[in-house]
Homo-oligomer: A and B are copies of this chain.
Amino acid sequence: MQHTPIRGIIAYPVTPFLADDAGIDEAAFRRVLDALLATDPAAIAILGSAGESAYLREAEWQRGVELGVEAVGGKVPLIVGIGELTTAAAVAKARFAERAGADRLMVIPVSYWKLDETEIFAHFEAVAAATDLPIMVYNNPATSGVDMPPALLVRMVREIPGIDLIKESSGDIHRMHAIHELSDGTIPFYNGANHLALEALAAGAQGWCTAAPNLLGSQPARLVAHIDAGEMEQARALFYTLLPVLRFIVQGGLPTTVKAGLRLQGLEAGDPRRPLRPLAGERLETLRHLLATQ
Contacts and interface: CB of A to CB of B under 8 A. Distances in A.
A5 interface: no
Interface string A194-236: 0110110011100000000000000000000001001111011
A205 to B, nearest CB: 11
State the number of copies, please.
Answer: 4
A160 to B, nearest CB: 14
Contacts of A109: 275
Contact of A114 (B120, B195, B233, B253): B253
A49 interface: yes
A202 B204 contact: no
Of all A-B residue pairs in the complex, the 3 with the closest CB atoms, nearest first, are A54-B112, A199-B199, A202-B202
10 contacts: A110-B112, A113-B256, A119-B276, A122-B274, A198-B202, A198-B203, A199-B202, A202-B235, A204-B236, A227-B232
Contacts of A120: 275
Interface string A259-285: 000000000000011111100000000
